Amino acid sequence: MQNKQLKLAARPNGMFKASDFNLVVETVPELSDGQVLVQVIYLSLDPTQRIWAQTDSYLPAVKIGATMRSFGLGVVQQSKNDHFNEGDIVSGMTGWQDYLVSDGKGLEKLPRIPGVPLDAYMGPLGMTGITAYYGLLDIAAPQTGETLVVSGAAGAVGSIVCQIGKLKNLRVVGIAGSDDKLEWLTTELGVDAGINYKTENVYKALRKAAPNGVDIYFENVGGALLDVVLTQLNIGARIPLCGYISAYTATEQTPGIQNLSVLISKRAKIQGFLVLDYYDRALEAVQEMASWMAQGKLSYKTDIRQGLEHTPTIINDLFTGGNTGKLLVQVSPEPS
Amino acid sequence: MQNKQLKLAARPNGMFKASDFNLVVETVPELSDGQVLVQVIYLSLDPTQRIWAQTDSYLPAVKIGATMRSFGLGVVQQSKNDHFNEGDIVSGMTGWQDYLVSDGKGLEKLPRIPGVPLDAYMGPLGMTGITAYYGLLDIAAPQTGETLVVSGAAGAVGSIVCQIGKLKNLRVVGIAGSDDKLEWLTTELGVDAGINYKTENVYKALRKAAPNGVDIYFENVGGALLDVVLTQLNIGARIPLCGYISAYTATEQTPGIQNLSVLISKRAKIQGFLVLDYYDRALEAVQEMASWMAQGKLSYKTDIRQGLEHTPTIINDLFTGGNTGKLLVQVSPEPS
């Protein structure tokens, strides 16, 4: 059995380029005792992968020559591991490849919920959803009636944050880069007001959209947007810092943050977090989100693209605003 | 009785200038029922006064033509208020003037502790000390063995923070702008290592001084220093944001903060705070600090200057590093 893999060939500079990766085909080795063979179905494309490809951070950088690290979902094809059976649907660090041979560590067997499609486990019921859930509820501890502003609001995490915000009775303002995205947020997800940061003066638009000021700013973007929102914080404001996508593909120094001192007069905080610190509380989040989904109170969008070999360019859509909702690459068909 | 006052004549641009104030002499009015007359002894000079003179913030800007707002300490000369007696030592918003007529609101009668000089109430046993105490203990919640870095370490608040850090068994690194200040910090206050930000490469010096990384950064300065320290945070680091003095007198845009995204990988936070939110817990802090002082575990320095009329230029020393410890202006002699 042949395994197509994308191996990191060069540290990216700016956007990913196809030439940053080598497409390598290798024969899948025989399983040893304790191992499982997973056929990858979906690759999760996440902004943090741009960091993994470049530098040591909360995880070591992907080594040059190694298969690109990626969260993903697949089906167990063969198992010599007591914890997994053929046909199990699993998620974990699959990498950018067709097949994963694993000792099972870090692989999570997914509890299939009737009526819930597989891609939901890459969205609200997976890492994406847990990020949104704890970033908002744990870091920001929202109170009824507060104003929540979300950047990257039409993205995978942002769109879930917006909806949890509405479920918690917040006024929700979404910032996104196209009118189509804002249309989706306001008409389908119940977001109260939208701001197109590409066409509007964000300062003025935010004054209108958040007339009582900003209590919570869920930040996926950073940079200039953050600097503007800082000027409109309320006393006691919380800024969960989830991502800083504006800097990930920058090739030159971006304008730095000028308005940080307002954190003092507003007794406000900026707090970074990583979903990996919440894995022990993942089940609680997934259960509540599954219940919201069953009640029709939480919806999601996946933007599914085809073709492992195109992944290095598809992922750039995360940085140009080319996706709505969760961006996935489908590597093999879902099992019937 | 004549009252000399400094009234704000113009919004400052950059450093304070003498011409930003008018020296006005007015006759002290007769007291009405409920009022007290306070003769000011010490004016507390604080970086936040630069903000008060310029713009609305957590307090409204001082109005043009009004006496400059200032914390201070004085003695009650006459009282038609049941809560105050002649000879009481009080602190509160005295303003930059010789005499204050007050209805008593916001005036605090100071509990005189035998052996404690008056100026201590402007330092560790006053707003300065409470700021240091809760900024470190409440916002940062230090754990034994952690590394604490303090900017403005030889300043009024910073020098208290350093000592509380040592009392809590932290490794303490002080950043200051002269070798004399660092000498005082390391030989007299027990600070473990000092960095002269004016003569040293802070990045390299901090690598040496905080070889295990930075768990807490008590920030009085902001700007370029903050950007460097951000690169050396440990996981779970806390940055109590007390002041941002680098920006207060800037006349041009200063370089913005570039490294904020490390807050994500380090799950770190920057949290602004104001001492005024801790007034209801002030007594607890003052009692513990008085006890530390009595045991010889907490010392302080006051930098006492003379002459109300020179206050507008004396205060600039806060922004150029011209003071060590608490900067005060003495307006009248201490009562014997």
φ/ψ (deg, to 5) at B322: -80, -5
Residue B169: predicted pLDDT:
98
Q: Which chain B positions have a beta carbon within 8 Å of A267's beta carbon?
A: 271-274, 277
Q: Do B265 and A57 touch (CB under 8 A)?
A: yes
Q: In this prediction, what percent of chain B has a pLDDT beyond 90?
A: 94
Structure tokens at A31: 């399983």
Query: Does residue A181 lie in a domain region?
Result: yes
Do B85 and B137 share a domain, yes or no?
A: no
Q: Do B264 and A256 touch (CB under 8 A)?
A: no
Helix, strand, or coil (residue A260)? coil
Structure tokens at A170: 């917040």
Partner residue opposite A257 with nearest CB, options B256, B265, B268? B256
Residue B174: predicted pLDDT:
98
The average pLDDT across B187-204 equals 98
Q: How many CB atoms lie within 10 A of CB B291?
A: 11
Q: What's the pLDDT band for B98 if we cut at 50, 70, 90?
A: very high
Distance from C-alpha of B79 to C-alpha of B104, rounded to nearest angstrom: 10
The residue among A250, A183, A201, A187 whose CA lies nearest residue A221 is: A250
Structure tokens at A304: 């599914």
pLDDT, mean over chain B: 96
Do A132 and A255 share a domain, yes or no?
A: yes
Q: How far is B138 from chain A (nearest CA, A)?
A: 13
Q: Which amino acid is at B23?
A: L
The average pLDDT across A267-293 equals 96
Q: How far is B27 from chain A (nearest CA, A)?
A: 36
Interface mutation vs chain B, best among A59, A246, A264, A279, most B CBs within 10 Å: A264
* Per-residue pLDDT reduced to its tens digit, B24-50: 999 999 999 999 999 999 999 999 999
Query: Does residue A207 lie in a domain region?
Result: yes
Query: Does residue B295 lie in a domain region?
Result: no
Do B114 and B134 share a domain, yes or no?
A: no
Helix, strand, or coil (residue A49)? helix
Residue A219: predicted pLDDT:
98
Q: Are A308 and A97 in contact (CB under 8 A)?
A: yes
Query: Does residue A219 lie in a domain region?
Result: yes
Give the count of Cβ contacts less than 8 A between chain A and B: 104
Do A140 and A269 share a domain, yes or no?
A: yes
Of the listed ranges A303-312, B167-176, B248-257, B284-293, the one predicted with least confidence: B248-257
User: Which distant-in-sequence residues (6+ apart) come within 8 Å of B56 by Cβ?
Assistant: none
Last-in-domain residue among A260, A276, A292? A276
Distance from C-alpha of A95 to C-alpha of A21, rounded to nearest angstrom: 13
Query: Does residue B291 lie in a domain region?
Result: no
Residue A243: predicted pLDDT:
96
Q: How far is A52 from chain B (nearest CA, A)?
A: 11
* Per-residue pLDDT reduced to its tens digit, A162-205: 999 999 999 999 999 999 999 999 999 999 999 999 999 999 99
Partner residue opposite B272 with nearest CB, options A267, A274, A277? A267
Strand-pairing partners, residue B89, are: B75
Residue A105: predicted pLDDT:
95
**What spatial distance separates the first Cα and last Cα of chain B, rounded to whole Å?**
21
Q: What's the pLDDT band for A115 if we cut at 50, 70, 90?
A: confident
Length of chain B: 336
The residue among A36, A12, A45, A13 whose CA lies nearest residue A307 is: A45
Do B114 and B45 share a domain, yes or no?
A: yes
Q: What's the pLDDT band for B228 if we cut at 50, 70, 90?
A: very high
Residue B313: predicted pLDDT:
95
Residue A41: predicted pLDDT:
98
Q: Do A271 and B255 touch (CB under 8 A)?
A: no
Query: Does residue B285 lie in a domain region?
Result: no
Query: Does residue A291 lie in a domain region?
Result: no
* Per-residue pLDDT reduced to its tens digit, B48-96: 999 999 999 999 999 999 999 999 999 999 999 999 999 999 999 999 9
Distance from C-alpha of A263 to C-alpha of B17, rounded to nearest angstrom: 28
The residue among A16, A92, A2, A10 whose CA lies nearest residue A310 is: A16
Query: Does residue B289 lie in a domain region?
Result: no
User: Which distant-in-sequence residues (6+ apart) come within 8 Å of A287 by Cβ?
Assistant: none
- What sign does the dihedral B318-B319-B322-B325 (CA atoms) show? positive
The residue among A98, A93, A3, A15 whose CA lies nearest residue A314 is: A15
Helix, strand, or coil (residue A283)? helix
Distance from C-alpha of A328 to C-alpha of A119, rounded to nearest angstrom: 8
Q: What's the pLDDT band for A253 if we cut at 50, 70, 90?
A: confident
Do A60 and A109 share a domain, yes or no?
A: yes
Q: Which chain B positions have a beta carbon within 8 Å of A254's beta carbon?
A: 258
Q: How many CB atoms lie within 10 A of CB B296?
A: 7
Distance from C-alpha of A45 to C-alpha of B203, rounded to nearest angstrom: 35
Do B188 and B251 share a domain, yes or no?
A: yes
Q: What's the pLDDT band for A270 if we cut at 50, 70, 90?
A: very high
Do B257 and B138 share a domain, yes or no?
A: yes
Do A312 and A196 share a domain, yes or no?
A: no
In degrees, to the nearest 5, what angle opens at C-alpha B95 toward C-alphas B89 and B98? 65
**Alpha carbon of A175 to those of A155, A197, A224, B268: distances in Å?**
10, 6, 13, 24
Q: How far is A55 from chain B (nearest CA, A)?
A: 12
Distance from C-alpha of A92 to C-alpha of A102, rounded to nearest angstrom: 10
Sheet architecture: strand order including B233-241: A193-196, A171-176, A147-151, A214-218, A233-241, A269-272, B269-272, B233-241, B214-218, B147-151, B171-176, B193-196
Q: What's the pLDDT band for A252 if we cut at 50, 70, 90?
A: confident
Which CATH number covers residue B191? 3.40.50.720
How many CA atoms, within 13 angstroms, populate the side-chain half-sphere of residue B37?
13
> What is chain A's alpha carbon radius of gyration, rounded to the nearest angstrom?
20
The average pLDDT across A66-79 equals 98
Q: Are B278 and B128 in contact (CB under 8 A)?
A: no
Q: How many CB atoms lie within 10 A of CB A89?
A: 19
Residue A113: predicted pLDDT:
84
Look up the domain containing B88 and give its range.
2-121+301-330
Partner residue opposite A253 with nearest CB, options B235, B258, B266? B258
- What sign does the dihedral B133-B136-B140-B145 (CA atoms) show? negative
Q: Do B260 and A57 touch (CB under 8 A)?
A: no
Residue A231: predicted pLDDT:
97
Q: Which chain B positions have a beta carbon within 8 Å of A260's beta carbon?
A: 222, 226, 241, 244, 257, 260, 270
**β strands within chain A, DSSP E:** 2-8, 21-27, 36-44, 71-79, 89-93, 99-102, 108-109, 147-151, 171-176, 193-196, 214-218, 233-241, 269-272, 302-306, 326-330
* Per-residue pLDDT reduced to its tens digit, B120-135: 999 999 999 999 999 9
- What sign does the dihedral A50-A53-A58-A59 (CA atoms) show? positive
Q: How far is A135 from chain B (nearest CA, A)?
A: 11
Of the listed ranges A313-317, B115-119, B162-166, the one predicted with least confidence: B115-119
Total number of domains in chain A: 2
Do A113 and A164 share a domain, yes or no?
A: no
Using the predicted structure, report yes or no on whether residue B209 has a pLDDT greater than 90: yes
Q: What's the pLDDT band for B284 if we cut at 50, 70, 90?
A: very high
pLDDT, mean over chain A: 96
Is the ipTM, as predicted for this complex, more than 0.90?
Answer: yes
Distance from C-alpha of A182 to C-alpha of A175, rounded to nearest angstrom: 8
DSSP label at residue B8: E
Collect all residues from A whose CB is shorter than 8 A from any CB in B: 51, 57-58, 222, 226-227, 235, 241-244, 247, 253-258, 260-274, 277
Residue B152: predicted pLDDT:
97
Q: How far is A271 from chain B (nearest CA, A)?
A: 4
Q: Are B329 and B308 in contact (CB under 8 A)?
A: yes
Q: How far is A239 from chain B (nearest CA, A)?
A: 9
Q: Are B248 and B279 in contact (CB under 8 A)?
A: no
Structure tokens at A239: 């800024």
Question: Quick one: angle between helices A156-167 and A282-294, nearest 10?
Answer: 70
Q: In this prediction, what percent of chain B has a pLDDT beyond 70?
A: 100
Q: Name the residue in chain A with its Cα closest to that of B223.
A: A258
Q: Which chain A positions have a beta carbon within 8 Å of B267's beta carbon?
A: 271-274, 277
Residue A208 backbone class (left: φ over 0; alpha: ψ -120 to 50; beta: rest):
alpha
Q: Which amino acid is at A322?
A: G
Residue B101: predicted pLDDT:
97
Q: Which chain A positions have a beta carbon within 8 Å of B56's beta carbon?
A: none
Q: Could you identify the residue written with the tokens 């460097």?
A: B228
Q: Which chain A positions have a beta carbon within 8 Å of B260's beta carbon?
A: 222, 226, 241, 244, 257, 260, 270
Which CATH number covers residue B108? 3.90.180.10
Q: How far is B175 from chain A (nearest CA, A)?
A: 19
Residue B56: predicted pLDDT:
94
Q: Could you identify the residue written with the tokens 């179905």?
A: A41
Question: Quick one: angle between helices B156-167 and B282-294, nearest 10?
Answer: 70
Collect all residues from B whose CB is shorter than 8 A from any CB in A: 51, 57-58, 222, 226-227, 235, 241-244, 247, 253-258, 260-274, 277
Do B252 and B141 share a domain, yes or no?
A: yes
Q: Do B264 and A241 touch (CB under 8 A)?
A: yes
Q: Which chain B positions have a beta carbon within 8 Å of A266's beta carbon?
A: 58, 272
How many CA atoms, within 13 angstroms, populate the side-chain half-sphere of residue B279?
6
Partner residue opposite A260 with nearest CB, options B235, B244, B262? B244
DSSP label at residue B9: -
The average pLDDT across A119-148 equals 97
The average pLDDT across B156-182 equals 97
Dihedral, B244, B245, B250, B253 alpha carbons, nearest 10: -20
Q: In this prediction, what percent of chain A has a pLDDT beyond 70?
A: 100
Do B320 and B219 share a domain, yes or no?
A: no
Instruction: Report strand pairing: B36-44 vs B99-102.
Output: antiparallel
Residue A239: predicted pLDDT:
98
